[in-house]
Amino acid sequence: MEMKTKTHKTIVIKLGSSSLTNEKRELNVANLQRIVKEILPWLKKKSFVIVSSGAIVSGSAKLGLKTKPKTIPEKQAAAAVGQTLLMKEYEKAFGKEDVTVAQVLLTRDAIADRERYLNARNTFLTLLKLGVIPIVNENDTVSIDEIKVGDNDTLAALVASLIGADLLINLTDIDGFYMDSEEGVSYLVDKIETITEEVENAARHPGTELGTGGMITKLQAAKIAQDAGVAMIIASGKKPGVITNILEGKQEGTFFVPKAAEVESRKRWLAHGLTTKGTISIDPGAASALKKGGSLLAVGVIGNKGSYQAGDLVSITNEIGREIGRGLINFTNHEMEKIMGKKSSVISSLLGYETTHEVIHRDNLVLIN
């Protein structure tokens, strides 16, 4: 299959720990150099951002820890050590061709806050304009759970969405996404248009559990990418020529087809940048009204969970609990308790004050999948 990847201009490459470290948990410098060598010839035509894992694993080896660190302080210490090892090697490998690299360490709060999101976006775009390769990782050393993205598959998809990339190449220790045929034979899937429940179930396939975040986080990342209009490929990080092949338009791994090419930046941010504070379930009538571009009204709300304020981001699920959208809600969870299922005309009298009747305005709402 000939792929459109030839025409892609802005590319995010995610390198998993398995592509960058060896069985002794040390940096696999040879593989890092090979990957960089495959990127170099394209730099005149395309821009690249690398999202690189491997800090915690390589840092732990350097510190002489016997096993992969388990406690948070150990992981954070290892990340601080490993991150400089990684940057040193990227600097050396790209420096051979006088290409400058930049270290960008992110946490979720840099993406969740709209102002900081736009600021991060400007930084990335400026670096790319200057011909610099941003090397991104989570700021593991200072990240606590509340502000963490948590895995680099998701981080890479958020970065791809943030900068409006065309393609995210997710390089891992398996050559793509596998499913089972009706006869129970595993096969590599070439192309996935929609991440259905069948695909989600296949992510739990034991053959695809090798990567750091496993296939489940890769599928979550693929959803973020697809919704943001970014194509994503899962392919092997150990296979020589993998990047060259992809950029020449040859089939490699599994291709996740992006949705509508142009998604408004604010809506992309709404969909995946923030953490949700609650969940609103809605009936099929409301779901189809949203699909037609309508706002969410109280009458269609059948469930309400979480503790949130007006203006917070909530998840919208259908009647069987599948997330179908996200949006900034106009009411608190207590107010929602009183008005869910009720007609718009009675909302003000139920609450005892004049208020908007839209639960979530269509401008503040984004549908996912």
Return residues touching ligand GLU (CB under 6 A): 16-17, 53-57, 79, 137-138, 140, 151-152, 212-213
Shortest approach of ligand GLU to residue 209 CB, angstroms?
A: 14
Q: Looking at beta carbons only, is 16 or 327 nearer to ligand GLU?
A: 16
Cα separations in angstroms, 167 against 3, 8, 104, 271: 12, 7, 19, 18
Bridge partner residues of 14 (DSSP): 51, 170
- Of residues 39 and 56, the one with the C-beta less far from ligand GLU: 56
Q: Which is nearer to ligand GLU, 213 or 327 (CB)?
A: 213
For ligand GLU, the closer CB: 152 or 281: 152
CB of 86 to ligand GLU, least distance (A): 8
Q: How far is the CB of 45 from ligand GLU (least distance, A)?
A: 29
Q: Report, in Å, the least distance between residue 160 CB and ligand GLU.
A: 15
User: Amino acid identity, residue 205?
Assistant: H
Considering the complex, state which of residue 3 and residue 79 has its C-beta at the smaller distance from ligand GLU: 79
Question: Which value, in Å, is the radius of gyration of the alpha carbons in the chain?
Answer: 22
How many residues are listed for the chain in this entry? 369
- Which residues touch 244 (CB under 8 Å, ≥6 apart)? 38, 41
| Torsional sign, CA 266, 272, 276, 281 | positive
Q: How far is the CB of 54 from ligand GLU (least distance, A)?
A: 5
- What is the separation, in whole angstroms, between the first and last Cα of the chain? 25
Half-sphere exposure of 185 (CA within 13 A, CB side): 2
Token pair 């009411």 is found at 331
